Structure 1
Amino acid sequence: MAKNLVIVESPTKAKTLSKFLGRNYKVMASIGHLRDLPKSKFGVDIEDNFEPQYINVRGKAKIINEIKKEASKADNVFLASDPDREGEAIAWHLAYLLDLSLEDKNRVVFNEITKEAVLDAMKHPRKIDLNLVDAQQARRVLDRIVGYELSPILWKKVKSGLSAGRVQSVALKLIIDRENEIKAFIPEEYWSIIMEAKVDKQDFSAAYYGKYAKDKLVEVKISNEKEADTIIKSLEKEYEVIDKNVSKRKRNPYQPFTTSTLQQEAAKRLYFTTSKTMSVAQQLYEGINVGGGSVGLITYMRTDSTRLSSSIIGESLAYIKENFGAKYASPGRSYSKKKSNSQDAHEAVRVSSINRTPQSIEKYLTKDQFKLYRLIWERTLQSQMKASEYLSTRYDIKNADHIFRANGSIIVFDGFTKVWSINDQTIELPDMEIGDKFSHEKIEKNQHFTKPKARYTEASLVKELEKNGIGRPSTYSSIIRSLLSRNYVNFEQKSLLPTEVGFKVNDLLQEYFEEVINKKFTADLENKLDSIEEDEIEWKVLISQFYDKFKPNLDNALKANKDEFAIKDKAINEKCPLCGNQLLEKSGRNGKFIGCSNFPECKYTRSIVKSLGIKCPKDGGDIIEKVSKRGKVFYGCSNYPKCDWASWDKPTGEICEKCGDLMVHRKNRNTDAVLCNNPECETNK
């Protein structure tokens, strides 16, 4: 019989730990929280100083009884839930259910699920950190208060079935503010003039820059074609180099991943959603059998820290020297400087062993696991490499009283970019000196228009949330998922586009709750949650301070009789085929649809089909716009499920000459290109 019981959250984690600990240990999984606030009622006693009314989670009775039974037989019980606030709270609730003393040293934490780390952690159990628990309780109660007290107002004044979130509402405002900026943006015309020349048989180009005024070079903006033509007409045949600047520059490697930077890079490089990134990272953390048994491949993926341990630094430096040469190895960087508002309890997101290369374990991983593991492995390794070095050259070139400028850059040492690819392009210029003269081969003018800021993508929204201290990186995935699932925003070409419902909800929140649902207040609240963790403020005091501001806003919203925020169904010129009543255009979780005005007595509905006027390459059906369960727009054949043609990218209507599939308009971080929808097609290579 096992003398020791170890309790973790997930079955995968339990399986991995069982192999490390041996026969004297039994490892069980709670499968998340076993106690929580009830779903069917408010669950917070405001009159009794905001006391939370926890209950056993419905459906968990069997697991609770099994854990209690094993705990009663064990000599020791260890609580090994995740090393963060949520994990600490799970351990605290387990201690309550098992009647364990909070003075017992039974809390075990490890940042990576490797045999060495787990065995070391088992030797150093500690007490449950009640400050961490209180910080989690404060967040949970704050979110419950906002969710349960705000949602009925949304039902009454906007649309039934809606819900509100404390941090989610601030994220929604960011998205809508950006959309309003885009709508209000007035493009301004401007022109560029490019001079192309050849010196010493080397082609290069220079862009029109400006003029000298009082011996000072001033940049000149060309506002229209007439101005561009005037400049071009005044140009003489001969150009002269009047200034040359050559400088050696360095680009340092990137810091190791935090949760947010991992989500951002996975979105930009792998096109993963934030939720997909966290799901795959969880799998890599909890353990995968890579031939010699199950092992955690990365450290804990919920962290604000960039710190690296001395062991991974040493291992990385040895790998770099052996595989690339000593000249690529840095002196070793720990990245241990704690940034403002960061939770530095554990390390950055890194691989557990740099010697476990992506290629060596690829056969044991799914495609998504391999892609994310490779990203984390490369980021870990490059952080210990030397900076890349390049020569930057700039020429100022005079013609009449006009100045053209040519900029070039040549890599002289690739450094960390040998592992971590970046977008810097080599632009070679001919070797010229001040006083050198030449003639142009071509002059070209181009019209441009200023563009508004881009809509938020998942990656850029995560970056903005972190920059403003809104929420925590571990919550960003759930924030975005909530906005999508509630139909407050949709995906359009990988960007987050607010819906009519989102606009109305935001309008109401800004009318009545602007004081407590804004960037500054939410970020300040986040800092106070950190202060609870540091034992600088009592958690119920924070809840009380929040509620004192929130309650008057709530009362004002309840008293108001305005119906300006209501989403009203629009009648269409058609009768219901089932009951003969008026059909309406309605808004639902996955966008607009047609439904009967006699609902719920009549449940007739149908989707609104948006045809692109393009025929399917497989069966000739119409290509139509569709919406996924997550609210993401995609394109598919109208004959589905008989025909399974589909694409996340909007078809152009052109047919690929190589394979016969449709060409699609594909946008990513670097390009806005027309490519074949078939990823295996030679056209894309």
Structure 2
Amino acid sequence: MVKIRYLFGCPNCNGPIDSERLLKGLPCESCLPGYSEALDIKAIYDLLVKNSTLKSYAELYYNFEMYEELSSLFKKIVGKEPWPLQKYWLRKLLRGENFSLSAPTGIGKTTTLMVYSIYRGETTLFVVPTNSLRDQICQRLKAITPDVSCGNPEDGKINVTSFYSINRNTEKYASLKPKVVIVDDADMILKSGKTTERIATILQIPQDVFDKAVQLVKLRRILSFKEDRELSQRVRELEAQVYTWRPVTQFVVSSATLRPKGSKQLALRTLAGFEPSTVQIYSRNIIDSYQDGLDLVNLLDRLGDEGALILVSRDFGRAKVKEIVNELNERGFRAIQAVSGRKFMDKFSSGEVGYLVGSASYYGVAVRGLDEPKRLKYVIFYGVPKTKLPLEDSLNNPFTALRVADALSLDVGNLRKKVLLLSPSEVQAIKFALRNSETLNGKLEELRKSLSYLKENVIEVLKSKKPSVLKLDNFTVEREGRRYFILIPDAITYIQGSGRASRILHNGFTLGLSVVLVDKPELFEILAKRVKGLSYDTEFKKFNDLDLDSIKREVTESRNGGSRSLDIKTALIVVESPTKAKTISRIFSRGVRRELYGVPVYESIIVDKNSVIVANIVASKGHVTDLTTEEVGYYGVEVDNEIRANYSPIYKCYNCLKTITKRVDSCPYCGSTLVYSSERIINAIRLLSSDVDEVYVATDPDQEGEKIAFDLYALISPYNKNVFRVTYHEITKNAILEAIRNKSWFNLNAVNSQLARRIEDRWIGFELSSALKSIIGDQNNGSGRVQGPVLGWIVDRTNEYKRNTGWMVYVKVGNYVIRRLFKSKAEAEDFVKRLNVKVLKVGEREEVVNPQPPYTTDALLIDAYNRLGISAPLTMRVAQELFESGLITYHRTDSIHISPLGVNIAKEYLIRSGLNQDFQGRSWGESGTHEAIRPTNPMDLNDLQRDIEENPFKYYIKFTWVHFKVYDLIFRRFIASQMGPAKVIYGKFRVTLTGNDEELIEVPILVEGGFSKVYPVKVYSLDGSEVTSSIRKGSSVPLLGYAEVIKLMKEKNIGRPSTYAKTVTSLIRHGYVIETKKRSFLLASKRGIKAYEVLRNNFAEFVSESRTSLLVDTIDKISKGTLDVDVFIKDLFQEVNSGIRVLINSPELKEQI
């Protein structure tokens, strides 16, 4: 096998190292000569010390040693090994990282932080929300160490205090200059800007730095919806000043539910490098049920068991909570109100009372502050938990206004199109302007006026129609007296509240029962749907259908050691794009974002039955290495007894956007020092991998993706031995879970095929480019085997087009166009004068036509161009974004196969649309590595746009009309492929233009039934009374368009789905081809014609169609393991040296130069 050498990969000296050594966890041969077998970390460290070659490996070893030391202390204090999640936290704590701990009560967050505080032995500040919690933690700490201070600031000790004390004694705590600040319940910070600023002072953030961070946040907000060059420059200056500050105090946050919104809170997030975690659903062991009506007493009688928490929907008011407590006590149910403090909980835990009653408020103590795993068994919701908002205020949200207007049958079609194309920041700007009666600029002001009018119109219609309830998909609008309110079911509060009855005990989740007493059935339907979306295995059952005796028995057993076990582990998931990282994070939970070396990292919770993965998700941003352009070997590849391909990190210049594949301090093209290296990403991934149990490399399922995966696998291996390949063809919850369940090994044949293609591209491309540069005369020249034939087609067609130009007459008969070319404009004008169009129908025939298969890459590119006029590069970019957002399956495919899941998606959609009689499921051939391009949900364009309205921040892309058109095209073609045939009637017409100029035409004139209901076939109407004509310059031979080029590439076996669009883009970038503005035709430039002449006259055998097609077949053989990559590269080396290089050095070519 070809040896891959990373010129920067050694974990010790950062120098050259072969992939084999990396995979064994070893440093390079220079650092550790004579050793080729795997060794453990300590053995490697000792040998490096012995050889006097120890460098960066020391950090890896010291982190390992410190963790072993801390783990030993943990075991000594706690009496058992830390759990996987605690190990993960301990490693991050040891590195001094600022981060947020996110886990349910019982996992051991507080224990972990206490052990770490003792291990540090330095001044630490432990901030908690209440004095009772302060006293509990102090008591536990004092049982282990005397170095604890409760409420009084003391240097060199673990200071445990409350937010109240912090706010009163900020200067005293700041004077301690603590090394670590731990905050339990970060919502106390996020709710108050003053508290945020005080915490910043204690964190030793200089006031001027904090003020600049606040200013930076405010300016970024303005820039998000307003372009301003001066403001942009000021933002860059502030970023430079803010980011040069380095934290001196470690900042750790435990548990939070709010996202930072205020300027001060966002400034603290910017300076700390992470955002506090939001609610994370690890697992639920809850039986979800419901009962119509609000008969609470009857329900409790039937339940016949104490240990229930009753949560009263907030719209009933606080008085209702007290009323229920009094009524229950009068009827013999020992109940108490859940309020702040510990007394009510102590009474409940001791059995003095049997029922707790509180408000169903997300931030209330009854929903978030209770942890009594043994005693609390049931949660009863008195009324559907809901949020109630005045309609008039809610209508400031453009999407809410559109949805309510829809429900009132107001025409908002045009306005909806405009709003759907807004970015999230533009939506926020309009919302803010409507709320505060302010004006905006340009298109945003026009939209603000339209939405302001719509808001008034909605209110007027409601006043006139006076409906009592309007039911929408995600909320209801209800009238109370003369006012209207929006009611939104609170799914998060339901999940959090019901989760009080399912806590971690005996290393597993206890079983709980939840009952919703339904006061508003239409709102409960929405709640059930939203809860299922958040916790997808949730199904509500009728309370009357439950076997209560059996459930009560299981509930009790789960608290006596029979709880459902929970397997928690940590993982790193590496994907290619930031959008994909955010999408996967969003699918499973509200991902927590932080930065490592400036690289965004998203922490998310992936739940699969009893298995929980705390996952860090990071993007590699494509390839992290490429064949080097350093002076080594033959264009980066050494060929002697063995073959060594040398790879460098990838550098990107922010100024000229050029890519560089050798180590540089400044851009060799423009001289800018604003150069970004993929080493930063690699270092972040290496560091993250050292924290977790397993690493899943989840790059794209093609040859390029496999090479990226292998590079990451090799570079990660010294830091984590449990590295796996996971592949998926759609970004959905089920697809990701299935990929992780079926984690596998890396496909080395696919890696070799990519390696072979890259080397071939480098050798042939660089040699041909060198010749072109010498002859044509500047640096922007290049060619490869695939580009050569494609350039030839475009040049030949351009020449034919020019040879056959003249004046084209377009005769439009009905909606059918007939063309005639004339050499002179006078002839064309004379023809138009003589036009006497007559249409005679001479026959018709009927044909049953089957639907076309779903899209492959080439078919999508061709149809997008022909039907929508969208260029191939733009279509591929949009398809990539749709895939990364989880809306379609993988878009680089030559398969038309549809999986059973895909067939079911079509079936569900057709049944829902009343077209179940047209369903005709088809798998379209044998399953293979890939599937055709299809939607991932039974969601047509209208459904997608409604989804965006209801969840404006769900997708991490800015939708344009192109996104909607391409999605609609993919969706309709797929649904049509799962439907029955259509009946097509073809009409045959004789069309006479002038006396002796006639044409016989057969076209579809009627299409009925089957797939045509969703995928229309164009029909023609040749009406002789509707004739128009026009004259334009033209040619009898049309220029090639993207569609024809891609079709030729497919037919002639040149290129693959991943290269169709790239090939043409590359020719345009070199200036060989021009894309016409109106129709996106491809026209060869003078430069392109000259370049092709050089290639054809001197290197024809290397850029011919047959040779290029043979190369594609050869690469396929390598990918299947039927051809040795070494043999191919050695043959190629011989071919280049005996062919191209001989030609380049020939007298004939030198004469041209």
Shorter-chain TM-score tier: 0.5 to 0.7
Secondary structure of the 1:515 match is: helix
Query: What letter corresponds to residue 314 of structure 1 in structure 2?
Result: N
Q: Paired residue for 2:636?
A: 43
Runs of 4+ in 1 over 6 A off after TM superposition: 100-105, 186-190, 402-406, 441-450
Deviation string 1:443-464 (CA, Å, 9 cap, x unpaired) is 9999999953311112221121
Q: Paired residue for 1:533?
A: 1119
Deviation string 1:556-595 (CA, Å, 9 cap, x unpaired) is 23223457866xxxxxxxxxxxxxxxxxxxxxxxxxxxxx
Aligned counterpart in structure 2 of residue 248 of structure 1, from 825, 840, 846: 846
Secondary structure of the 1:308 match is: coil
Aligned counterpart in structure 2 of residue 128 of structure 1, from 746, 767, 774: 746
Aligned counterpart in structure 2 of residue 366 of structure 1, from 956, 959, 962: 959
* Distance in 2 separating the partners of 1:97 and 1:445: 66
* Distance in 2 separating the partners of 1:358 and 1:384: 20
How do residues 239-278 of structure 1 correspond to structure 2 at under 5 angstroms? 246-278=844-876
* Distance in 1 separating the partners of 2:1027 and 2:753: 64
Structure 2 vs 1, CA of residues 37 and 315 (structure 1 numbering), >3 Å: closer, same or farther? Answer: same
* Distance in 2 separating the partners of 1:163 and 1:179: 20
User: Contact between 1:303 and 1:347, CA under 8 Å: does it hold in 2?
Assistant: yes
Deviation string 1:318-348 (CA, Å, 9 cap, x unpaired) is 322442434432x21111258xxxxx41111
Query: What letter corresponds to residue 899 of structure 2 in structure 1?
Result: S
**Are 2:647 and 1:54 aligned?**
yes
After superposing the two structures, state which structure 1 stretch, 410-419 or 78-87, moved more: 410-419
**Are 2:709 and 1:80 aligned?**
no
How do residues 388-399 of structure 1 correspond to structure 2 at under 5 angstroms? 388-394=982-988
* Distance in 2 separating the partners of 1:459 and 1:404: 27
Quote the offset at 1:284 in angstroms. Answer: 1.4
How do residues 125-164 of structure 1 correspond to structure 2 at under 5 angstroms? 125-161=743-779, 162-164=781-783
**Are 2:675 and 1:91 aligned?**
no
Q: Paired residue for 2:1059?
A: 475
* Distance in 2 separating the partners of 1:29 and 1:307: 29
Query: What letter corresponds to residue 500 of structure 1 in structure 2?
Result: K
Secondary structure of the 1:152 match is: helix
User: Contact between 2:689 and 2:719, CA under 8 Å: does it hold in 1?
Assistant: no
The structure richer in helix per residue is: 2
Q: Which has the larger radius of gyration?
A: 2
**Are 2:875 and 1:303 aligned?**
no
Q: Paired residue for 1:167?
A: 786
Quote the offset at 1:544 in angstroms. Answer: 3.0
Structure 2 vs 1, CA of residues 255 and 244 (structure 1 numbering), >3 Å: closer, same or farther? Answer: same
Structure 2 vs 1, CA of residues 129 and 383 (structure 1 numbering), >3 Å: closer, same or farther? Answer: same
Q: Paired residue for 1:377?
A: 971
Q: Paired residue for 1:656?
A: none
* Distance in 1 separating the partners of 2:1046 and 2:1007: 34
User: Contact between 2:1006 and 2:1019, CA under 8 Å: does it hold in 1?
Assistant: no
Quote the offset at 1:509 in angstroms. Answer: 0.7
Secondary structure of the 2:617 match is: strand
Deviation string 1:382-429 (CA, Å, 9 cap, x unpaired) is 1112222123355899xxxx9996867542624322222332325599
Q: Paired residue for 1:25?
A: 615
Query: What letter corresponds to residue 515 of structure 1 in structure 2?
Result: E
Query: What letter corresponds to residue 309 of structure 1 in structure 2?
Result: S
* Distance in 2 separating the partners of 1:107 and 1:27: 14
* Distance in 1 separating the partners of 2:959 and 2:944: 12
Identical columns (%): 30
Query: What letter corresponds to residue 136 of structure 1 in structure 2?
Result: Q
Aligned counterpart in structure 1 of residue 1020 of structure 2, from 425, 440, 449: 425
Deviation string 1:332-365 (CA, Å, 9 cap, x unpaired) is 1111258xxxxx4111111101235334335446
Quote the offset at 1:105 in angstroms. Answer: 7.1
Q: Paired residue for 2:158?
A: none
**Are 2:703 and 1:117 aligned?**
no
Q: Paired residue for 1:512?
A: 1098
User: Contact between 1:78 and 1:107, CA under 8 Å: does it hold in 2?
Assistant: yes
Deviation string 1:185-227 (CA, Å, 9 cap, x unpaired) is 498999x9x9x9xxxxxx9x9x9xxxxxxxxxxxxxxxx99xx
Aligned counterpart in structure 2 of residue 416 of structure 1, from 1001, 1011, 1023: 1011
User: Contact between 1:105 and 1:126, CA under 8 Å: does it hold in 2?
Assistant: no
Aligned counterpart in structure 2 of residue 544 of structure 1, from 1102, 1120, 1130: 1130
User: Contact between 1:131 and 1:535, CA under 8 Å: does it hold in 2?
Assistant: yes
* Distance in 1 separating the partners of 2:989 and 2:1126: 64
Quote the offset at 1:472 in angstroms. Answer: 0.9
The structure richer in strand per residue is: 1
* Distance in 2 separating the partners of 1:244 and 1:278: 44
After superposing the two structures, state which structure 1 stretch, 147-156 or 354-363, moved more: 354-363
* Distance in 2 separating the partners of 1:509 and 1:395: 48
Q: Paired residue for 1:666?
A: none
Quote the offset at 1:29 in angstroms. Answer: 1.7
Q: Paired residue for 1:318?
A: 908
* Distance in 2 separating the partners of 1:562 and 1:125: 54
User: Contact between 1:389 and 1:414, CA under 8 Å: does it hold in 2?
Assistant: yes
Quote the offset at 1:273 in angstroms. Answer: 2.3
Quote the offset at 1:145 in angstroms. Answer: 0.4
User: Contact between 1:312 and 1:354, CA under 8 Å: does it hold in 2?
Assistant: no
* Distance in 2 separating the partners of 1:13 and 1:25: 14
- The answer to which structure, 1 or 2, has the higher relative contact order (CA under 8 A, 6+ apart) is 1
Q: Paired residue for 2:683?
A: 65
Q: Paired residue for 2:1145?
A: 558
User: Contact between 1:4 and 1:26, CA under 8 Å: does it hold in 2?
Assistant: yes
Deviation string 1:620-649 (CA, Å, 9 cap, x unpaired) is xxxxxxxxxxxxxxxxxxxxxxxxxxxxxx
Aligned counterpart in structure 2 of residue 176 of structure 1, from 776, 784, 795: 795
Quote the offset at 1:38 in angstroms. Answer: 1.5
User: Is there any run of 5+ residues in structure 2 with no aligned partner, and where?
Assistant: 1-87, 89-568, 589-604, 607-612, 652-676, 819-826, 953-957, 992-996
User: Contact between 1:308 and 1:334, CA under 8 Å: does it hold in 2?
Assistant: yes
Quote the offset at 1:93 in angstroms. Answer: 0.6
* Distance in 1 separating the partners of 2:999 and 2:573: 71
Q: Paired residue for 1:284?
A: 882
* Distance in 2 separating the partners of 1:408 and 1:181: 29
Deviation string 1:38-87 (CA, Å, 9 cap, x unpaired) is 14452112345553111233412222122112212222111111111111
Task: Give the CA RMSD over aligned residues.
Answer: 4.1
* Distance in 2 separating the partners of 1:6 and 1:305: 27
**Are 2:1064 and 1:497 aligned?**
no
Quote the offset at 1:244 in angstroms. Answer: 7.3
User: Contact between 1:512 and 1:554, CA under 8 Å: does it hold in 2?
Assistant: no
Q: Paired residue for 1:335?
A: 924
TM (normalized to structure 2)? 0.40
Aligned counterpart in structure 1 of residue 1042 of structure 2, from 444, 458, 466: 458
User: Contact between 1:169 and 1:517, CA under 8 Å: does it hold in 2?
Assistant: yes
TM (normalized to structure 1)? 0.65
* Distance in 1 separating the partners of 2:1090 and 2:1150: 11
* Distance in 2 separating the partners of 1:25 and 1:450: 59
Quote the offset at 1:269 in angstroms. Answer: 2.9
Structure 2 vs 1, CA of residues 70 and 403 (structure 1 numbering), >3 Å: closer, same or farther? Answer: closer
User: Contact between 1:284 and 1:369, CA under 8 Å: does it hold in 2?
Assistant: yes
